[in-house]
Structure 1
């Protein structure tokens, strides 16, 4: 399938498709949080959302200025040049797409684990973790430098494995939607949660990752598929204190500062 033909099927460009899906999933999860909330909020929602939306808008502006060529564009170029493992092996299109999707999902899991294990990356990633509530807006909250490093990281994987542009596009859309879903403060029945987390990361599974307890903070690194945490033994099923009573965020920052826009951007450069 030609990449340009894929996007033209919808009569829209890549950016319009991604933005439309993103806003649609955000709206659905925000409504679900209103209808079926899992936890009481500890901070005013308006100020947090203003900060979290401000961060993602800044991320988008900086990304466009600093890195005009994004992973999908790199994937198209790699395919045209015959670069990468999947461009050297004759495989059916559907199998190349599936393999590329799984490789990229593992790559993001590994990146997330490394962002916890390597101190300089943890300084940036803390901006995401200091949010004292976890809801759909938390999925937007990543420091601009972390976003830029993430793009470079993904581009390297795309080049090495020759991921088709369609696979990269589908992965990016699914990843964004999955992050909005699993950060949502929404209540799922235990049976639905148990079934879904056999395949994907659910809100209850990812909420454990935002606990203030270090063992729980440094677990459940998946954003989309749940298999990697089970495979590499970084899976924690439930928080020790229960979902309603657990403390969200990091212990040194249990105050109003995480809801401040400028403070959040400066956090990686501040002494504790």
Structure 2
């Protein structure tokens, strides 16, 4: 049931976003959907199948196990339910923020994470463009955090839905009025804010690491308000990978095992 809930929410949010992208695009994309979507959605399908037959439900199972055995900070302190839920959501969100920074700073993890950044355009499908090994490592990291926190099981499901939904939203090629975008950024990550993170400029790539709430970037000094180039013209992707033929489905699967290129 937990998997069905998460999948239904993810598909619903994705469907909404691709419709809004069609009606109100922020940028005119140079590469058509036929060039990118089979790759991005192919990776998503592969990851979904692999997780389904391996460790896909471990986050919820580990939360239940930790609760049953009184493991983790929140279980040891017998926190009231409302506090356990709020703390779980905030602590897991901060943990994912920290993981994202590590994915950029530690070369062995960047080898995997670069697959996400090689997309030459930026839309809702970019949110699911991840190497399978990164997805699996992320789940194991999440399980460790859940056990250490003593995360509330219901809050873990809620967090997964928020994380997937926020990633789809903030990768969306949707046009949000600047005044509204500035207001939203005080609470959540907007597409314009996260798009900066997908810039080819290294200083901009190494910024705006958050996925759902903008608090951590502001507190930790990793927030950039605007790119050097206008949002509609900034170059997306990695400077080292500019040829679409280098970014086929099979080549992306092999990319982490090739010579690392950062420039």
TM range (shorter): over 0.9
Counterparts of 1:109-124 in structure 2, within 5 Å, are 109-124=97-112
The structure 2 residue matched to 1:230, chosen from 218, 223, 230, is 218
Aligned match for 1:263, one of 221, 226, 251: 251
- For 1:242, the equivalent position in structure 2 comes to 230
User: Could you report, residue by residue, the CA deviation over 1:67-89 in whole angstroms, capped at 9, with x for unpaired residues?
Assistant: 25511111001101111110011
SS in 1 for 2:240: helix
Please name the residue that 1:30 is paired with: 18
| Secondary structure, counterpart of 1:252 in structure 2 | coil
Segments of 4+ moved more than 4 angstroms: none
Q: Which residue of 1 aligns with 2:174?
A: 186
After superposition, the CA RMSD in angstroms is: 1.1
**Structure 2 residue corresponding to 1:177, chosen from 152, 161, 165:** 165
Equivalent in the alignment of 1:64: 52
Q: Which residue of 2 aligns with 1:10?
A: none
Deviation at 1:260?
Answer: 1.3
Alpha-carbon separation, structure 2, partners of 1:109 and 1:68: 21
User: Structure 2 unaligned runs (5+)?
Assistant: none
1:1-272 aligned within 5 A: 13-67=1-55, 69-257=57-245, 259-271=247-259, 272=261
Offset of residue 197 of structure 1: 0.6
C-alpha contact (below 8 Å) 1:47/1:259 kept by paired residues: no
Specify every segment of 5 or more residues in structure 1 that has no aligned partner in the other structure, as ranges: 1-12
Alignment size in residue pairs: 260
Q: Secondary structure at the match of 2:138?
A: helix
Q: Matched residues in 2 for 1:180 and 1:91: separation?
A: 32
